[in-house]
Structure 1
Amino acid sequence: MYKYLLIVNDIEQQLEQGTFKAGQKLPSIRDLSLRYACNKSTVIRAFTLLESRHLIYSIPQSGYYAVQQRGASHELLENKVFDFSSAAPDPELFPYLDFKHCVDKAFDMYKNELFMYGTPQGLPSLLRLLSKHLANYQVFTKPDHIHITSGVQQALAILALMPFPNKKRGILMEQPSYHLFVRLVESYQLPVHGIRRSPQGDIDLDELEHLFRTEDIKFFYTMPRFQNPLGCSYSEPTKKAIAKLAKRYDVYIVEDDYLADLEHDLKSDPIYTYDSSHVIYLKSYAKILFPGLRVGVAVLPPVLDDVFRTFKKVADIDSPMLSQAALEIYIQSGMFERRKHAIRDAYSKRLQQLHESLHAHKEDSYQVTPLGQSGVYTHIVLPPHLSMPLLLERLHKKQVWIQNLTLNYLPSFEPLPLMNLSITRVSEEHIDRGIRIIANEIKHMIKQGRRK
């Protein structure tokens, strides 16, 4: 067993046994690295996994703390925990019987293929289906240029490591950005640059052009639609300008369109639409189905196909055949389309409720971002002097979970005073109560600061 998994299992067991109580500080990274005779990075990896499962939480410059004991009842979680931190799909919205039917049918249809290795590129019949399916997102491509990966995360890892035709090595990413990709480039010690994306979602195109022209950048990683963690989207002129600059300076765009299925605006196209020669289009099926499916799609320019296929084979041979077969049946049967509309409508109602509650409880001390048509994120802009670690700590004690955005930034970038809010794991009827708690804590901390 990997050492980090041993640490995870030991801490999970201690949480279940009550050795660590809710809110209790865990041993330091240094202490655990000595106890388990491992590097500090191994302990950090274990803590990151435990934090992603909401078993512990971190407070910058303080340490890691226990959230709650395992085994808490669903009723306790439903009534007392307000989870605004997670972007994982709501399990209550998932049609288990429909997907179980697809898995059972996949066993029957592909019983021989499931017991053999597939191809690094993916299940051929799924690739042909996706070529038609992706056209619904204005992504027109042939099956030869579609690659199935074990989630978008694997596609990002391959792209970060593989050589590109432009012979460049550096990676440019928005700030803030997807926290696991930030960790990935840091772990591989890859040359990386950042460019600020404003709280309104804007990007300085002049600065982008300067970076493309002067820095050794092989690709720019961006989330044009419903950016994580800001929740905002690029305008059509901005997307066209980015595509034009990429082609002019021979820089590739890695477009992570992870929430494409939640888009209401039929006229909103990806950057890929404006230049497929320099754009790599990534799509996840985890957010509309469930993360355990581990199926991502990478649409590549032809010049990148062979090297991506080689790196994929070395890393993984092939992606899970059962997941691919089940997804094929799920799309082909029309179940996917029904599911997409159902979850999109449910999330839209929650997002609307979130903004209504934010405005209803709003103080002059912080700003609420404009309501987007869809997606799962929004954020509020807090006063710069407010201590974010202290605010998160106080909210945790009141069972309100908020994502710590420090991990979404490169070390060279100062995090903006933002509070990110996701609606996927908070029911519509509990959103208002959670926002009221947040507003009261902000108000309380500001008053305390004025007294001092």
Structure 2
Amino acid sequence: MKFLLNKYLMNLNRGKIKYLVIEEHIKKLIDKSNIKDGEKLPSIRKLAQFLGVNNITIVNAYKRLQSEGYALQKMGSGTYAKKRDINRNLNREYSRVLKKIFSSEIRCYIDFTGETSSGEFFQINLFKDVLNEVLDRDGSSALIYQEPLGYEGLRKSISDIFWNNSVNAENILIVSGAQQGIDVVSKSILNTNDTVIVEKPTYSGALSVFKSRKAEIVEIPVEKNGVDVDKIEKILQKNNVKCFYTMSYFQNPSGISYNDDKKRRILRLAEIYDFYIIEDDYLSELIYDSNIKYNSFKSLDQCDRVIYIKSFSKIFLPGIRIGYLIPPRKFRENIQNSKINTDIATSSLMQRALDLYIRKGMWKDYISELNVKYKDIYIYTEMCISKYLGDKVDFIKPGGGLHFYLRIKENIQIDSISLFREAIGRGVLITPGSLYYKNPLEGKRYFKIGFSHVNKEDIENGIKILNELMI
């Protein structure tokens, strides 16, 4: 039969509910384009006879396909395959799977989806002492008093410790993590149909925000040391671009970092063509390669063209949800007002605790310790990838951060979406690359492995399982 529906399908899946087996098989055929979008499915009677099941079984299978967006019934004509919006549906599927697993079953899985540092390395007793000191010092003010721009002490600490007082504390805005920072900035500066340049691939959360603002999104492929600057200039010559969103260190997901030459060239273009750079400074604290030097776009900015966003949640405790942004003077008031309209203020107690933690030197000690521990895990993960997947994937060595981005070689049949689904059945969680592209089909050969929440034994076992699945 044209649709590759094997009449031995039921025999191969004894013990399973028949209509679910048929539904899953047809879904796979549609996802792989063996059944084309809009192609008519076999009639209920014809398919039932071919598979040796009753008509009700096929009716139930087709109903489920319709409910999940894989089929469309036309009255008097039949049932037709429907190609889903891969990115939207994959996002939902990915989120649904992780929510279910993280709520009750995560201990049963090897989790390569982590994007934050592990709480296992955090010295919680030290932080408890800091919290108690803040409560003793500030009393109820620590819980009640709110400052719309953020706790003044924390803003001064950020200015002093992280920027050597080169940034005025009054120009620092505390936000609830990088995601809120991107959202606040977008609401402040983007209008419908404004053009935004992003890296390809890029952080899916940023793509979602820009889409919600109905912006025109233009992708520029990332190279070894950042995006192709010549391609950016060609776009700038033909389009009125509002901003360029970038992750300057260990980009999510590609893992690349910009060299200073590309940063300076992009900053010059921003001045010439009058656009702004939204810099999401992602995990730049975790540098393992001594050849990588830290200079943010913001630190090199001489013309006030960078909107700098930094999250403490990725590297610190995700649950505290604290980050900050530094806006250009032109947008300062708009961005501050947008933040206030979003949630009035970020947790006062946690801001005060983080401020004291930084002032006491604990932050510096914690980051130093984290670098030592994660460098060791990074090296081990790289070794396992090379050993077990070396003939099946290509990858760059990011030299820092908490993940690797792998490209499945052309001679391997499985794509990353199928690998994601099959790996779940073997107790392994990965992130398919399709989530990071405007056109998800461009990411089907890529997947991300994060090593922040996995011990060495599980890293090796998980990569061995992926090797077995990649045929």
Query: Same fold, TM exceeding 0.5?
Result: yes
TM-aligned CA distance change 1:52 to 1:219, over 3 Å: farther
Equivalent residue number for residue 171 of structure 1: 196
Q: Which moved more, 1:292-301 or 1:414-423?
A: 414-423
The TM-score normalised by the length of structure 1 is 0.78
1:296-445 matches, within 5 Å, as 296-369=323-396, 371-384=397-410, 386-411=414-439, 414-415=442-443, 417-442=445-470, 445=471
Cα separation, 2, equivalents of 1:168 and 1:108: 51
Q: Does 1:272 align with 2:307?
A: no
Equivalent residue number for residue 19 of structure 2: none
Equivalent residue number for residue 94 of structure 1: 122
Q: Which amino acid aligns with 1:176?
A: P
TM-aligned CA distance change 1:88 to 1:255, over 3 Å: same
Cα separation, 1, equivalents of 2:355 and 2:65: 44
Residue 124 of structure 1, CA deviation: 1.0
Partner SS, residue 351 of structure 1: helix
Contact 1:114 1:322 in 2 (8 A): yes
Cα separation, 2, equivalents of 1:88 and 1:232: 18
Partner SS, residue 325 of structure 2: strand
Cα separation, 2, equivalents of 1:413 and 1:95: 42
Cα separation, 1, equivalents of 2:233 and 2:193: 16
Cα separation, 2, equivalents of 1:398 and 1:333: 45
Contact 1:402 1:419 in 2 (8 A): yes
Alignment: residue pair count: 392
Q: Does 1:220 align with 2:244?
A: yes
Deviation track 1:128-155 (CA, whole Å, cap 9, x = no partner) reads 111012226xx83111211101111111
Deviation track 1:57-85 (CA, whole Å, cap 9, x = no partner) reads xxxxxxxxxx58x544x8xx2xx522111
1:151-230 matches, within 5 Å, as 151-163=177-189, 169-198=194-223, 200=224, 202-230=226-254
Deviation track 1:364-422 (CA, whole Å, cap 9, x = no partner) reads 343232x3332111122212453222222221111111012222111387226222111
CA RMSD of aligned residues (A): 3.2
TM-aligned CA distance change 1:211 to 1:97, over 3 Å: same
Deviation track 1:340-385 (CA, whole Å, cap 9, x = no partner) reads 111121111111001111122234343232x333211112221245
TM-aligned CA distance change 1:167 to 1:435, over 3 Å: closer
Cα separation, 2, equivalents of 1:303 and 1:419: 39
Cα separation, 2, equivalents of 1:29 and 1:438: 29
Deviation track 1:98-123 (CA, whole Å, cap 9, x = no partner) reads 11122222222232433545222111
Cα separation, 2, equivalents of 1:424 and 1:52: 21
Contact 2:417 2:444 in 1 (8 A): no
Residue 172 of structure 1, CA deviation: 1.7
Cα separation, 1, equivalents of 2:440 and 2:406: 23
TM-aligned CA distance change 1:49 to 1:167, over 3 Å: closer
Which of the residues 240, 244, 247 maps onto 2:271?
247
Q: Which amino acid aligns with 1:294?
A: R
Cα separation, 2, equivalents of 1:32 and 1:441: 26
Q: Which moved more, 1:302-311 or 1:411-420?
A: 411-420
Deviation track 1:168-205 (CA, whole Å, cap 9, x = no partner) reads 9322211111111111222332332222224x454211
Q: Which amino acid aligns with 2:219?
A: G
Contact 1:160 1:185 in 2 (8 A): yes
Residue 301 of structure 1, CA deviation: 1.9
TM-aligned CA distance change 1:327 to 1:52, over 3 Å: farther
Cα separation, 2, equivalents of 1:229 and 1:381: 12
Cα separation, 1, equivalents of 2:379 and 2:64: 41
Q: Which moved more, 1:404-413 or 1:330-339?
A: 404-413
Q: Which amino acid aligns with 1:316?
A: D
Residue 49 of structure 1, CA deviation: 9.9
Cα separation, 2, equivalents of 1:317 and 1:142: 22
Cα separation, 1, equivalents of 2:285 and 2:341: 31
Residue 29 of structure 1, CA deviation: 11
Cα separation, 2, equivalents of 1:187 and 1:316: 19
Cα separation, 2, equivalents of 1:49 and 1:412: 14
Cα separation, 1, equivalents of 2:197 and 2:237: 12
Contact 1:182 1:407 in 2 (8 A): no
Contact 1:134 1:140 in 2 (8 A): no
TM-aligned CA distance change 1:29 to 1:295, over 3 Å: farther
Q: Which amino acid aligns with 1:292?
A: G
Partner SS, residue 288 of structure 1: coil
Partner SS, residue 414 of structure 1: helix
Q: Does 1:104 align with 2:148?
A: no
In our comparison, the structure showing a higher alpha carbon Rg is: 2
Cα separation, 2, equivalents of 1:441 and 1:412: 22
Which of the residues 159, 175, 178 maps onto 1:149?
175
Cα separation, 1, equivalents of 2:440 and 2:316: 35
Cα separation, 2, equivalents of 1:30 and 1:285: 43
Cα separation, 1, equivalents of 2:94 and 2:348: 28
Q: Does 1:125 align with 2:172?
A: no
Contact 1:168 1:218 in 2 (8 A): no
Deviation track 1:220-269 (CA, whole Å, cap 9, x = no partner) reads 11001000011121122112211121122111111111212213557321
Gapped runs of 5+ residues in structure 1?
1-23, 34-40, 57-66, 446-452
Cα separation, 2, equivalents of 1:315 and 1:196: 33
